[in-house]
Copies of this chain bind each other. A is one copy, B any other.
C-alpha cells in the first residue's frame, strides 16, 4: 500500500486544523484599535498554536520521507496523532478567551503533551514496518528532542498553577527547540546522499 493517501489525508486534516483556529478569532463589534487590542490573548494563542501545528506538519513531512510502505497499524497511529492535534483549536480558544488563566493554560499544555506522546508510537510503527535502516536511525536520533519536549510540557503544566507566564515560556521553549535545529537533520540526510 502506498503512502500517498496517508500524506494527503494528514495534509488535509492539518491544513483544516491550522485554518479553523482562525474562526475563534471573532471580529470585535467595535471598529476601534482598543477593541482589536483586547484580542491580543486570542491572537497570541492562535499564533503559538499555528507555530505548533506548523512544526508537526513540517516534522510529519520529514518523517514520511522514511516511509515506503503503509499498514493498518501505521494508519491508526497516524490517526491517533491527528486526533490529539484536532483538539488544539479547542484548547487554544479556551486559553485565549480566558486570558491565559491557570486551568486553561495547564489544559493547553496537556493538549500539546498528548500529540508529543503520540509521536513516538507513530515512529515505532514505521520502524516496525521498515526495519531499522539509516534514515530512521537519524529519526530516532531526534528522540532526544522528543524527551526534552515531554519534560518541558510536564514542567509547564505543573508551573501553570504557580505562574502561568512561566508555563507559556515552557511551551514556547519547546516550539523553539523544534523550530531551530531542524537543519541539522537535513544536513545529515544530505551528507548520507553525498556518501
Chain A positions within 8 Å of B, measured between CB atoms, are: 1, 5-9, 11-20, 22-25, 27-29, 31-33, 36, 47, 50, 54, 57-58, 61-62, 64-65, 71-73, 75-76, 79, 82-83, 86-87, 89-90, 93-94, 97-98, 101-104, 107, 179, 182-183, 186
Contact = CB atoms under 8 A, between A and B. Distances in A.
B9 A14 contact: yes
B90 A75 contact: no
Contacts of A82: 18
A61 B3 CA distance: 10
Given A20-B23, A31-B102, 9 more contacts: A5-B64, A6-B61, A18-B86, A23-B23, A33-B103, A58-B75, A71-B186, A72-B182, A72-B186
Given A12-B15, A15-B16, A20-B16, A27 B90 contact: yes
B31 A94 contact: yes
Nearest to A100: B31
Contact of A16 (B6, B16, B50): B16
A24 B16 CA distance: 15
A22 B98 contact: no
